Amino acid sequence: MHISDGVLPISVAVGGYVASAVLVAWSARRTRSEELPKLAVMTAAFFIASLVHVPFGPTSVHLLIPGLTGALLGSSAFLSIGLGLLLQSLLFQFGGITALGANALMMGLPALACGWFFQRYKGRTQLRQVIIGGLAGALGTALAAIILAALLVTGGEDFFGIAKIVLLAHLPVIIIEGVVSAFTIGFLARVKPALLQPAFTRSL
């Protein structure tokens, strides 16, 4: 799920850059220096996750984990995802460098939404955190697919057709992301619950 060079019209690419620059700045301002190590680890995890191929039926899909990143980082997630995507496009040739802004929006907005969703509904019990974490993971990928469809519409496609195709193609990813996020968050809730308290709600 990466937009390549030359797919989007120039105005959308530039708009994506501007919007993500604003969001990165906002995200960076809200990041506290004590959280930098955690942010670095999650950024590295996000950067690597796209290389983890999960065999699924005849094909294999790769993880995206915007939902998990958002759930763990809260409002800092956008900064993390922006940097992760920049390095992915430079080193792995995933997505074009001109479409980087749009790609960052596509992954970052779901991350922010999932971060809010997870913090809002995670409750206190571990089981609930696992369930909500899994939902957040699945939601992140689903939202990213919808934003991808919305961005592709600007390239002159019809929204519902594209959205249907993209969502169907990513259905396995959505399920796997949900499972992976649920397991990760369950593990963290048992081992280090403090990691599940990002700055999102503390400063809000």
List beta partners, residue 59. Answer: 56
Contact flag: residue 84 with other proteins (CB under 8 A): yes
To other proteins, the closest distance from the beta carbon of 64 in angstroms equals: 16
Q: Which stretch binds other proteins (CB under 8 A): 87-95, 142-150, 170-178, 188-196?
A: 87-95
Neighbours of 153 (CB within 10 A): 16
Shortest distance (Å) from residue 131 CB to other proteins: 30
Size of the site for other proteins (CB under 8 A): 17
> 53-56 and 59-62: which strand pairing?
antiparallel
Give the footprint of other proteins on residues 102-121 (CB under 8 A): none
Contacts of 52 (CB under 8 A, 6+ apart): 62, 63
Name the minimum Å distance from CB 142 to other proteins: 26
97 binds other proteins (CB under 8 A): no
In angstroms, what is the C-alpha Rg of the chain? 16
Residue the block writes with tokens 């397991």? 183
Show the site string, 28-67: x = touches other proteins by CB under 8 A, - = not: -----x--xx-xx--xx--xx--x----------------
Q: Are 80 and 43 in contact (CB under 8 A)?
A: yes
Nearest Cα to Cα of residue 66 among 145, 168, 162, 183: 145
> What tokens does 164 get?
């249907």
> Please, are residues 72 and 198 in contact by the beta-carbon 8 Å criterion?
yes
Comparison of 37 and 55: residue with beta carbon closer to other proteins:
37
At 92, list the tokens: 């792995």
Structure tokens at 163: 């959205």
Site for other proteins in 6-25 (CB under 8 A): none
Q: Which of 93, 197 has the CB closer to other proteins? A: 93
Decide if residue 27 touches other proteins (CB under 8 A): no
Burial class (CB in 10 A: 0-12, 13-18, 19+), 15: middle
- The least CB distance from residue 30 to other proteins, in Å, is 13
Provide, rounded to whole angstroms, the least separation between the CB of residue 44 and other proteins. Answer: 5
Give 74 or 134: the residue with its C-beta nearer to other proteins. 74
Where do contacts with other proteins occur on this chain (CB under 8 A)?
33, 36-37, 39-40, 43-44, 47-48, 51, 83-84, 87-88, 91-93
